């Protein structure tokens, strides 16, 4: 497990996250494996990102603090679920988005969505931070989780390739 993912898992579990749903992504494997191995967390795969958001919303309504893991390209599938479910019903679900389409991206189709993630989150009033360095992960994740749960609003953590190493061609 990488240092950044271990720190995130510690912050999430220490911050009360007990339910994680995700759409598989190579960059997210350290988080997925860590959450699946954690005895206090229920973690499983969804078939689409909006399904993952809906499941996490249900968990949150049922009293299980939840998070959703996805790749940036999958973010394009969820604005309606955010705008019609998480935001108006003030559900404190944390989104973790592995960023593609930047810093030497090899796949041209990944680039356009990377340009709209932050503006879309801003338009929906969803606070977000980009994690770029291991030395800032604990502070930013802990503070984001705290704000999310205290304000009863969703929040997003964007994982920069500067932190994760990104996905390389091949």
For the chain, domain boundaries? 3-163
Number of CB atoms found within 10 A of residue 46's CB: 20
| 7-54 pLDDT per residue, tens | 999 999 999 999 999 999 889 999 999 999 999 999 999 999 999 999
Name which of 83, 80, 71 is nearest 114 in CA terms: 71
What whole-number distance in Å separates Cα of residue 32 and Cα of residue 37?
A: 9
Give kind and range of the element (H or E) at residue 52.
helix 49-61
pLDDT of res. 108 = 66
User: Is the overall model pTM greater than 0.85, yes or no?
Assistant: yes
pLDDT of res. 100 = 77
What is the token pair recorded at 2? Answer: 């990488």
- Please give the CATH superfamily to which domain 3-163 belongs: Thiamin diphosphate (ThDP)-binding fold, Pyr/PP domains (3.40.50.970)
Whole-number CA gyration radius for the chain:
14
Low-confidence ranges of the chain (pLDDT < 50): none
pLDDT of res. 170 = 56
What is the token pair recorded at 8? Answer: 């995130």
């Amino acid at each position: 497990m990488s240092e950044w993912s271990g720190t995130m898992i510690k912050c999430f579990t220490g911050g009360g996250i007990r339910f994680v749903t995700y759409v598989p992504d190579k960059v997210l494997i350290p988080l997925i494996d860590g959450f699946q191995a954690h005895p206090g967390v229920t973690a499983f795969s969804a078939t689409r990102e909006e399904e993952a958001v809906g499941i996490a919303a249900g968990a949150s309504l049922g009293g299980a603090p939840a998070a959703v893991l996805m790749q940036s390209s999958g973010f394009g599938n969820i604005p309606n679920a955010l705008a019609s479910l998480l935001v108006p019903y003030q559900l404190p679900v944390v989104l973790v988005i592995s960023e593609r389409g930047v810093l030497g991206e090899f796949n041209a189709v990944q680039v356009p969505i990377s340009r709209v993630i932050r503006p879309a989150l801003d338009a929906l009033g969803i606070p977000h931070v980009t994690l770029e360095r291991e030395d800032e992960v604990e502070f930013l994740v802990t503070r984001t989780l705290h704000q999310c749960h205290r304000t009863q609003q969703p929040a997003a953590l964007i994982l920069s390739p500067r932190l994760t190493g990104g996905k390389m061609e091949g």
